[in-house]
Amino acid sequence: MSTIRAIGLVVYTYCVLEDRLEAIWNWFQEIEAWSGHTFSEYGFSPRGKVSRRVWKATHENRMKLHDRLREEQPWYVLSFGWPAGTLNSRAHITGGVDAWLKSQRQPWKGGAAYRSPSYIAVIAHSDLFGRADSADGFLQLAASAWRLVDGVYGFVDVETGVPPQADLIDNFDCLVSDLIPPRYLGEFQAWQDLMPHVDRRVWKAFWGNLLGAEHLRRLGGIEELRRTDAPLRRRLPEFEEQSYQEGLRILRNCACYDRWLDLDNHGVLLAQSESPLSWYSHKGQQCRRDLDEALAKISLRADG
């Protein structure tokens, strides 16, 4: 599959999205500025009250929505689309952009049983990447999303352009469309089994890869260092720093990226070519293979 119709970004988080209303609201405006288009419509469902209704995104309606987001919490799904009709279709069909968030219940004070990350995401038609600065702007959207929700993992997907939804039912219309290669069905289901561990594990190499500090520590051997501290197996500060620096070294030495951006909270963003539109170039695919190999220790494919 080598036709690129859409590019999708998703950032996973264990934060409470409702606590970040103003930052998230501003992020949707950043997407409008990047695309050069004002959203035409939106949809919103608080948790427990799923609604399929789509509203026109007039200024007055937006102000009403902002008030609803303050009052009707917890949220479930919030989405914006351009042009009109995108939310009931797909951005790759309408030639537009579709941005949304999905809020999951998070443990009090970030307890250990996360299990269901929330996320924010955007899908954009490939035509929106025709400007010289569009790829850089999209990476800045990714970095901004990471910062505002304390991201733990994320990626920019070119092969499908459809960031995975929370479960197979939500994603069914995408998975059965010709936008999704058949091999993705089984891979997607396996990825869902890793949802409890997105802060420690990755899916595979994408065009854009947002990795957190814990990914780097595990890539750099934090568990091996803990075993040297038998029988306590402590996560000593020196172990965390040593493994983090080793994870950075592994990535820098594999030459598997075209651009490297430092992210908040000691994360990194690796883009594998100058533009997502060159993903299927020889260089882009070689970078993909190299990064797949570099990430093998912490990836979905490490499970066989």
pLDDT of residue 113: 55
Q: How far apart are CA 287 and CA 255, in angstroms?
A: 7
pLDDT in tens, 246-299: 999 999 998 788 899 999 999 999 999 889 999 988 888 888 999 999 999 999
- The pTM score is 0.91
pLDDT (tens digit per residue) in 3-29: 788 899 999 999 999 999 999 999 999
Q: What is the mean pLDDT of residues 157-182?
A: 55
pLDDT at 109: 52
Higher pLDDT, 255 or 127: 127
Mean pLDDT (the chain, rounded): 87
Average pLDDT over residues 72-101: 92
For residue 21, what are its two tokens? 């209303």
Residue 37: pLDDT above 90? yes
Sheet with 75-82, edge to edge strand ranges: 55-56, 41-46, 75-82, 97-102, 118-125, 6-13, 153-157, 208-211, 267-271, 259-263
The domain locations on the chain are 1-196, 200-304
Alpha helices of 43-182 — where are they, by DSSP H?
Answer: 59-71, 91-94, 134-149, 168-175
pLDDT bracket for residue 162 (50, 70, 90): low
In this predicted model, what pLDDT tens digit does every residue of 84-96 receive, in sequence order? Answer: 999 998 888 899 9
> 1-196 in CATH: which number?
3.60.90.10
Instruction: For the chain, list the strands marked E by DSSP.
Output: 6-13, 41-46, 55-56, 75-82, 97-102, 118-125, 153-157, 208-211, 259-263, 267-271
Rounded-to-integer distance, Cα 30 and Cα 273, Å: 23
